[in-house]
Structure 1
Amino acid sequence: MLTPTSVTKGAAILQAPNRLAAFYENENTYGKGSNGKGGGITPTTKVSPSSSAILNANNALLEATKSPGVPTLLYRNKQGDAMMMVGPPDSQQLKEILASVK
């Protein structure tokens, strides 16, 4: 779900010394806010130019695919075909996707 803090949270993950740990922090603490919404990693107060470029490229790709939502997974299968999945895959779907990638 995109929220007003999505950009600054995305930048916080991209700018973290350990991006994977920051990603997991965001995932594992999301929805833990006082109202059961929000939460996640603390947004950064300064988005670097390189993080801004990455986030803008991702947003442009989302718009170009006319995806109705997030997450959107784009990948190429072993035949080289571009594939898209909207919404989070369950564990079986993720195994199938990973087995099918080029």
Structure 2
Amino acid sequence: MGLGLTLIVASLTVYHRDFGYAVPFVLQAWNYLTPIVYSSSLSPERWQFLYSLNPTVGLIEGFRWSVLGGVPITFTMMASMVSGLVASLVIGMAVFQKIERGFADIV
């Protein structure tokens, strides 16, 4: 997932320099939306489905389950994680291949 997102941001940063300044803010917001320090069970039950659509929730909860035990990840978390990974990689490769022809002219 990191490779796909990096390809997208790096490709767009060549043409639009402001993406480089926006990335730290987006990453910080995404960090608060991912259950790294806190457990996903702390979010209210009515928001659990929407919360599990975050692709990194399944990754973190799966790692937490494999190390600490407890409740395994749900199918929604797993599907969101796999679809986010595939989508970011496919979109990242497509954006990079489309934009890379003009990199030498800009840089």
How high is the TM-score relative to the length of structure 2? Answer: 0.29
More helix by share: 2
More strand by share: 1
RCO (CA 8 Å, sep 6+): is it higher in 1 or 2? 2
